[in-house]
Amino acid sequence: MTAAAPTTRRPTWRTIDTAAGGLALDLGLYAVSAGFAAITAVTSTLLPHRAWGATATLGYLAAALAVGAQLLLRRRRPDATPAGLPGRWAVTAFAWATATLLPLVQQTVQRASGRTDRAQEEVLVVEHAGSRLVEHGTPYLGPDAIAALPADERLLGYTPYQPGMALFGLPRAFAAGWWTDARIWFALGTALALALAVASLHRPDRAPGGPGGGGPRGDAGGTGRAADADHPRRAAALLRGVQAATVLPICALTLATGGDDLPVLALCLLALALAATGRPGRAGIAVGLAGALKLFAWPIALVLIIWGATRRVGLRVTAGAVGLPLAALLPALLVDRDALVENVLRFPLGHGLVTSPAQSPFPGHLIATGLPGGRIIAAGLLLATGAAIAVRLARRPPRTAAATALICGYGLLAAIALMPSTRFGYLLYPVALLLWAPALHEPTPPTGEPAAPPLSANWRAPERGRA
């Protein structure tokens, strides 16, 4: 008697993601985003957010209508190109242009014309940091200088970023115009990093062991010998990851009104793409550039270094991932050490002259403010979570870029939820990382052909059963 073969069920997320060739989820994304933008335009207490919502609503609605037309075309002509992946890329680009870039340019032009309610505080802080970098050689004000400011201006005196962030404020130090607004340069940096990431991953000839598969260069990948049957699936996953970093409202709103997190996120995604395509040194440089902008990139750099260690290229990753942030910190440390410590350490840890306005109602904040000794409890939970992640990394270090992205995404999600002071907008990091991970999977080798070693022909995976 022959046992029936077990049936496999596709994961729920993949079923939703691939329904109607991905168009069903696209339609839901743009429709829900339009609703979010409309609610923001009506209810937000922040004027830059209201202005974004009024413009973005129309952009998202137009994108939703375009996807609806693609769905109709797909039903009539299933093989029609506009209803396939190229058409989805075109709508994504349109949505980013109308729901992100258009409101961004509108607000920068209105601000240059005299409107004082068309930029979040982050924009002013970065531009002031750029001016101080030119005048004093450091983007930071010392504690005495901050204390000398009027009480209602002390918050803007802080620059809670790494020194590299001041570079986006440099144009404003030399000219006043819409094009010198820091958000314009945030958008350019984001677009450049994402374009490089897509170019690294979107390769039809990428195959196991080839340049795109994480193996030795010059192997099967560039010859066409091993056609990559997984390419359409990975190309669709790449599009979904790009959508998460561009048109998702949490990213679109952030870039149009504040923007400092988006180049950091884009550089981290680029680092993971470079890791997935066998370029560990360049991956270290990309995440190092992100770490020179903001502390949020440092945990990602650490996990990438551990990934590199599993491939025996840890030093190549570390050189850029650690060297670039240290090189950025050194001048500020030499010019005014107290100012650096006050802005980069004391203020984010809640020991500055003023309190951070990051007070989104996540569990860590609710515990810190609602329970006796809540800050200690929240800090303990955060440390326990960090210890659990450290144990996971020690026992099962990530051996692929996809696993690295997943660990970073879930780790940052837990940290954001448990930090006593945090922002809702920080969720853009874990969301984008988790949706980026499927595009990083190495291709499946053709039937009968063994997969090549990941990064070096001399690297050997440990044999099963050995310690």
pLDDT above 50 (res 64): yes
Q: Which of 221-235, 237-251, 285-299 has the lowest mean pLDDT?
A: 221-235
Instruction: Check if the beta carbon of residue 162 is closer than 8 Å to that of residue 344.
Output: yes
Strand, coil or helix: 210: coil
Domain check: are 68 and 163 in the same one?
A: no
Instruction: Check if the beta carbon of residue 273 is closer than 8 Å to that of residue 200.
Output: yes
Domain check: are 112 and 235 in the same one?
A: no
- The pair of structure tokens assigned to 295 is 């502390």
Asked if the structure places residue 256 within a domain, the reply is yes
Strand, coil or helix: 73: helix
Q: Which amino acid is at 145?
A: A
Instruction: Check if the beta carbon of residue 119 is closer than 8 Å to that of residue 107.
Output: yes
Question: Within 13 Å, how many C-alpha atoms sit on residue 346's CB side?
Answer: 17
Asked if the structure places residue 148 within a domain, the reply is yes
Mean pLDDT of 105-122: 93
Query: What's the pLDDT at 12?
Result: 77
Query: What's the pLDDT at 460?
Result: 38
User: Where does the pLDDT of residue 424 fall: very low under 50, low under 70, confident under 90, or very high at 90 and above?
Assistant: confident
Q: Residue 117: how many CB atoms within 10 A of its CB?
A: 12
Higher-scoring residue by pLDDT: 152, 315 = 315
Among residues 102, 117, 132, which one ends one of the domains? 117
**Domain containing 141: what range?**
119-440
- The pair of structure tokens assigned to 366 is 């609710």
Domain check: are 204 and 285 in the same one?
A: yes
Query: What's the pLDDT at 75?
Result: 80
Domain check: are 256 and 382 in the same one?
A: yes
Domain check: are 217 and 290 in the same one?
A: yes
State pLDDT tens for residues 181-235: 999 999 999 999 999 999 999 765 454 444 334 443 433 334 444 444 567 788 8
Among residues 117, 132, 160, which one ends one of the domains? 117
Query: What's the pLDDT at 248?
Result: 95
Query: What's the pLDDT at 230?
Result: 60
Query: What's the pLDDT at 88?
Result: 93
Asked if the structure places residue 447 within a domain, the reply is no
Query: What's the pLDDT at 162?
Result: 95
pLDDT above 50 (res 99): yes
Domain check: are 201 and 224 in the same one?
A: yes
Query: What's the pLDDT at 304?
Result: 97
Domain check: are 84 and 208 in the same one?
A: no
- The pair of structure tokens assigned to 386 is 């960090």
State pLDDT tens for residues 77-97: 766 544 588 899 999 999 999
Mean pLDDT of 6-17: 65
Asked if the structure places residue 445 within a domain, the reply is no
Q: Which of 205-209, 229-233, 345-349, 380-384 has the lowest mean pLDDT?
A: 205-209
User: How remote is the C-alpha of 350 from its chain's centroid?
Assistant: 25
Query: What's the pLDDT at 465?
Result: 39
Q: Which amino acid is at 148?
A: A
What is the distance between the alpha carbons of residues 61 and 10, in angstroms, rounded to a whole number? 31
Q: Which of 230-239, 389-398, 410-419, 448-457 has the lowest mean pLDDT?
A: 448-457
Higher-scoring residue by pLDDT: 422, 176 = 176
Instruction: Check if the beta carbon of residue 130 is closer than 8 Å to that of residue 139.
Output: yes
Domain check: are 103 and 127 in the same one?
A: no
List Cα–Cα distances, 37 to 58, 61, 250, 321, in angstroms: 9, 10, 10, 36
What is the distance between the alpha carbons of residues 140 and 133, in angstroms, rounded to a whole number? 8
Please give the full DSSP string across 309-324, using - where no structure is assigned: HHTT-HHHHHHHHHHH
What is the distance between the alpha carbons of residues 266 and 186, in angstroms, rounded to a whole number? 10
pLDDT above 90 (res 22): no
Higher-scoring residue by pLDDT: 360, 245 = 245
The closest alpha carbon to 67, from 18, 12, 20, belongs to 20
Beta-carbon contacts of residue 276 (< 8 Å; ≥ 6 apart): 200, 201, 212, 214, 400, 401, 402, 440, 442
Among residues 63, 90, 117, which one ends one of the domains? 117
Q: Specify the pTM.
A: 0.87
List Cα–Cα distances, 214 to 221, 226, 396, 457, in angstroms: 10, 15, 20, 11
pLDDT above 50 (res 178): yes
Instruction: Check if the beta carbon of residue 35 is closer than 8 Å to that of residue 99.
Output: no
User: Where does the pLDDT of residue 443 fall: very low under 50, low under 70, confident under 90, or very high at 90 and above?
Assistant: low
Question: Within 13 Å, how many C-alpha atoms sit on residue 247's CB side?
Answer: 33
State pLDDT tens for residues 141-170: 999 999 999 988 888 899 999 999 999 999
Q: How many domains does the chain have?
A: 2
Q: Which of 1-15, 262-276, 412-426, 433-447 has the lowest mean pLDDT?
A: 1-15
Asked if the structure places residue 242 within a domain, the reply is yes
Asked if the structure places residue 463 within a domain, the reply is no
Q: Tell me the torsion sign for CA atoms 237, 241, 242, 243.
A: positive
Query: What's the pLDDT at 407?
Result: 95
Dihedral-angle region of residue 448 (phi above 0 means left; psi in -120 to 50 means alpha; beta otherwise): left
Domain check: are 158 and 303 in the same one?
A: yes
The percentage of the chain sitting over the pLDDT mark of 90, rounded to a whole number, equals 63
Domain check: are 190 and 236 in the same one?
A: yes
Query: What's the pLDDT at 158?
Result: 92
Asked if the structure places residue 464 within a domain, the reply is no
What is the distance between the alpha carbons of residues 29 and 57, in angstroms, rounded to a whole number? 13
Instruction: Check if the beta carbon of residue 90 is closer than 8 Å to that of residue 69.
Output: no
Query: What's the pLDDT at 350?
Result: 74
DSSP 7: P
Domain check: are 174 and 321 in the same one?
A: yes
DSSP 21: G
Asked if the structure places residue 10 within a domain, the reply is no
Q: What average pLDDT is seen over the chain?
A: 85
Domain check: are 76 and 177 in the same one?
A: no
